[in-house]
């Protein structure tokens, strides 16, 4: 990309699920060039398009640039990686034909360590992370529902070479109606997102409960708070200071969310592997390497690993 291209970025969405579908539809609705990679519902999208029912307004994209095989995708300035992180073993093979010298890799995946992994795969690329608070769910083929207003926190892995690029991407997302906050410390923001993801994703599966049932129970609310406090200690040991009051903010936020099933609960219900590696195992490892054992997080990981292996076994 050159400076002259700054008003005309093109996007490829790798993984047209809840997140990729929501952002891709909103970008395309502004007139941006957006290509979608879809798997199970490729034929449906090709014929019927993509539909988003959103708190921000409903959109039906009727003519969608959709592809079933990554090797058939046209080039794009920005590749948005929206696959479940359980598929990251295929990522390098999938992206290699698409990545040019100036291609930006923008990952919207959950968890810790993903930007670093992408950078090791493609050392010459600018890697940008997006921490998403979206409240979107894929209801059926080509159909996504977006019930909670949210934002993206966007930041490059290496601010010195990627902040300008992240700023240009943020302009497109803001134009599409997606609020964006820029950061120079995306890894800290990932730790902060884990403070919500780890307790509520984990408990939703273990307790078979949506977010409202968990947060309304005094014992589970307190347990969630204690998990968050462990993560504050883990993040601090890794060099990322998070104020202890942030746990209270997340509790209050969850109390006011539209009740919903978490992404991990939906994966469990659909008998798909849960995203344990980057959401729980990597944070546990990084904290332990610096002398912090997050005991409650470890218990959650152990239970979920048992459930995951039993379900898939």
Q: What is the pLDDT of residues 71-124, one digit of tens each?
A: 999 999 999 999 999 999 999 999 999 999 899 999 999 999 999 999 999 999
pLDDT one-digit tens code per residue, 250-296: 999 999 988 888 999 999 999 999 999 999 999 999 999 999 999 99
Taken in order of first residue, the domains within the chain and their CATH numbers are 3-184 (3.40.50.720), 188-312 (1.10.1040.10)
| Given 193, 213, 244, 272, the catalytic residue | 193
Residue 259 has a pLDDT of: 86
Contacts of 238 (CB under 8 A, 6+ apart): 191, 286, 287, 290
Phi, psi (rounded to 5 degrees) for 51: -125, 130
Using alpha carbons, select from 80, 78, 69, 70 the residue that is nearest to residue 100.
78
Residue 257 has a pLDDT of: 85
pLDDT one-digit tens code per residue, 137-170: 788 999 999 877 778 999 999 999 899 999 999 9
**DSSP output for 185-242:** -HHHHHHHHHHHHHHHHHHHHHTT--HHHHHHSHHHHHHHHHHHHHHHHHHHHTT---
Clarify whether 193 is annotated catalytic: yes
Tokens found for residue 235: 């993040």
What is the distance in angstroms between the CA of the first residue and the CA of the last residue of the chain?
46
Length of the chain: 313
CA distance 220 to 214: 6
pLDDT one-digit tens code per residue, 236-245: 999 999 999 9
pLDDT one-digit tens code per residue, 16-37: 999 999 999 999 999 999 999 9
């Amino acid at each position: 990309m050159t400076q002259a291209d700054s008003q005309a970025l093109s996007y490829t969405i790798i993984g047209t699920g809840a997140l990729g579908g929501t952002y891709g539809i909103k970008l395309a609705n502004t007139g941006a060039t957006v290509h979608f990679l879809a798997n199970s519902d490729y034929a449906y999208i090709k014929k019927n398009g993509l539909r988003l029912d959103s708190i921000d307004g409903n959109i039906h994209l009727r003519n969608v640039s959709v592809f079933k095989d990554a090797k058939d995708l046209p080039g794009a300035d920005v590749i948005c990686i929206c696959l479940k992180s359980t598929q990251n073993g295929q990522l390098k093979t999938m992206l290699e034909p698409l990545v040019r010298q100036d291609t930006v890799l923008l990952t919207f995946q959950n968890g810790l360590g993903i930007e670093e992994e992408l950078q090791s795969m493609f050392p010459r690329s600018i890697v940008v992370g997006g921490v998403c608070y979206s409240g979107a769910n894929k209801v059926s083929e080509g159909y996504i529902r977006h019930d909670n207003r949210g934002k993206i926190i966007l930041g490059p892995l290496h601010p010195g070479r990627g902040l300008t690029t992240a700023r240009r991407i943020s302009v497109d997302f803001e134009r599409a109606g997606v609020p964006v906050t820029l950061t120079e410390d995306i890894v800290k923001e990932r730790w902060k997102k884990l403070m919500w993801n780890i307790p509520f994703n984990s408990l939703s599966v273990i307790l078979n409960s949506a977010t409202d049932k968990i947060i309304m129970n005094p014992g589970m609310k307190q347990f969630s708070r204690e998990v968050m406090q462990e993560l504050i200690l883990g993040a601090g040991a890794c060099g990322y200071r998070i104020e202890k009051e942030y746990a209270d903010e997340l509790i209050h936020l969850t109390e006011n969310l539209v009740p919903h099933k978490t992404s991990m609960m939906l994966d469990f219900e659909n008998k798909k592997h849960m995203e344990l590696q980057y959401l729980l195992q990597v944070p546990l490892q990084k904290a332990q390497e610096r002398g912090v054992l997050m005991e409650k997080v470890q218990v959650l990981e152990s239970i979920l690993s048992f459930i995951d292996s039993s379900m898939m076994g």
